[in-house]
Structure 1
Amino acid sequence: MGGAVVALGVLVAGCGLQEAAGGREFGPASSDLSFSYTGISSGDDTINQTLEIHNTYRQSVVTLLSFTALDRAHQPMPKVKVSTVYGSDRGTLVSPYGYGMDILRFSGPGEHEVADVQVRVDKVVAAAPQVVAGAEPVTTQALDAAGREISRFERFSRVRLTNPNAWPVYVRVAYLVYDQPPEGQSQQVVSVTPIGGLTRVPSHGSTTIEVKNAAATAIARNSRGPAVSIKAYYSQ
């Protein structure tokens, strides 16, 4: 299902997003951001419950978004809480000019019956540093303690991040665990664990981050599981 409705709102003061972004606040303008929600992806081994963020500000931005779950009749589902994996609702996702993406999570009665979402733009701030339009995603590769490449389904100790772009980027990395829903229901992220912190990846280069603390525990618990992934996303 796609075509999320956009409504506007005004964020109460004191969130600190403008200071965190280090950039100019645009306010909740409707003409420069639009959204599309996809519940069940049409491709194999692809992500469900994705939110496409279409940004025509001609620069990368950080957002605070609010969501309302909608049923098949496009009616609100007030008992379903909507949150995000990458943080478009809390100021941790940088959305480049053009196209960006987040992953939605639903919880509460009816969580598997969500057909669409309504999006409210609470705040938009210029991102610092900028992510250039057309940026390719940073890829992740699980490594063992000796630096050998292994499957993300194994108990890995490090993650290698590779930046295909001609400029350095800043990313955060998340270890995601998915549920196993019945046929016809969207697959949902049930657990999100950060690996490391904000990381700079050089242009046309790679860097490696260590798996520690809560991330190591989550990976040990879910290794050999049927549905996990390691995702890097632009942040600041």
Structure 2
Amino acid sequence: MKKSRSLLPILIGALMAVSACSVVTNDDETEPGSPNGPEFTTTFTRIAENGYIDMGLDFENPTTEAVTIDGQLVARDASGTVLPDVRVTTAFGTESGRAVVFPGVNVDFVQLEGREEQQVREITLESAEVTVLDVAPETQYVELKPLDGQGRELEYDMSAEQISLENPNPFPVRIRIVLMVLRAPQEGIPQEASLVRDVTTVEAKASGNTIVDLDERTRSLLREHGLTSFVTLRPVLAP
């Protein structure tokens, strides 16, 4: 397996070089910090620093609540002009209400499709609807560790047959397991995900480890793509 520059801490999104920031506004006059307040920002990082995944999109929640966002992602060039032929999707589906958005910065990763995709330097979130969740805003993220068939921890996800979800919270949480395959890095070209696949959604038990067996298809994809690309399994807190 080729080692990538794409090893990131899942807890925070780094606001790094080659990034652009956008603001989502709401027409209602509400207090800043409320879920319907004036701004949720997005920051796009096309090429990240070494050790982080390219094509990052950070969603910053300025409120004190855990929420979901349902809106449209719009690709723009360096001047801010809309690139209408470029389709934007994310690995975790944050913009479509499929991931919990906690107060502060929440990281996701972009896939672009269209003839002008190499011109994208900014991604904005438009017409967003925000829904407050009955989820503790101080919920901590769950750590995923790859295991072999005997439950032994592995260094890389490529050989995983099982995973361990370590939940530090004193209550169970719903976790989506997402498989990402990232192309081998090339100088000056973003290392975009070539494959994103939802593996399963499970409930991670409170204050402990939950072992999940990976299905045959997932194990096959990890091994097949892991020989030439960077493969990773990510835990996503689901609403």
Q: Distance in 2 between matches of 1:2 and 1:77?
A: 17
The residue identity in structure 1 corresponding to 2:41 is S
Q: Any unmatched runs of 5+ in structure 2?
A: 1-17, 28-33
RMSD of the TM alignment (CA)? Answer: 2.4
How do 1:141-220 residues align onto structure 2 when only pairs under 5 Å count? 141-203=145-207, 205-220=208-223
Q: Distance in 1 between matches of 2:142 and 2:227?
A: 24
Number of residue pairs aligned between Structure 1 and Structure 2 = 216
Bigger mean CA deviation after superposition, 66-75 or 213-222: 213-222
Q: Any unmatched runs of 5+ in structure 1?
A: 11-25
Following superposition, the deviation at residue 222 of structure 1 comes to 1.7
Determine whether 1:107 maps to 2:113.
yes
Kindly indicate whether the alpha-carbon contact (under 8 Å) linking 1:173 and 1:230 is maintained by their aligned counterparts in 2: yes
Determine whether 1:77 maps to 2:77.
no
TM-score (norm 1): 0.80
1:152–1:201 Cα change, 3 Å:
farther
Q: Distance in 1 between matches of 2:183 and 2:156?
A: 16
Q: Distance in 2 between matches of 1:5 and 1:30?
A: 15
Kindly indicate whether the alpha-carbon contact (under 8 Å) linking 2:24 and 2:38 is maintained by their aligned counterparts in 1: no
Kindly indicate whether the alpha-carbon contact (under 8 Å) linking 1:5 and 1:117 is maintained by their aligned counterparts in 2: yes
Corresponding residue number in structure 1 for 2:8: none
1:225–1:140 Cα change, 3 Å:
farther
Percent of counterpart pairs with the same letter?
21
How do 1:1-236 residues align onto structure 2 when only pairs under 5 Å count? 1-7=18-24, 29=36, 31-42=38-49, 44-128=50-134, 130-133=135-138, 135-203=139-207, 205-236=208-239
Kindly indicate whether the alpha-carbon contact (under 8 Å) linking 1:198 and 1:235 is maintained by their aligned counterparts in 2: no
Following superposition, the deviation at residue 157 of structure 1 comes to 1.0
After superposition, the C-alpha distances for 1:75-104 in whole angstroms (9 at most, x for unaligned) are: 211121100111112211101122222211
Corresponding residue number in structure 1 for 2:12: none
After superposition, the C-alpha distances for 1:22-69 in whole angstroms (9 at most, x for unaligned) are: xxxx99x46142222222222x22112122222123110011121111
1:113–1:189 Cα change, 3 Å:
same
Which SS does the other structure have where 1:176 is aligned? strand
The residue identity in structure 1 corresponding to 2:137 is V
Kindly indicate whether the alpha-carbon contact (under 8 Å) linking 1:171 and 1:199 is maintained by their aligned counterparts in 2: yes
TM-score (norm 2): 0.80
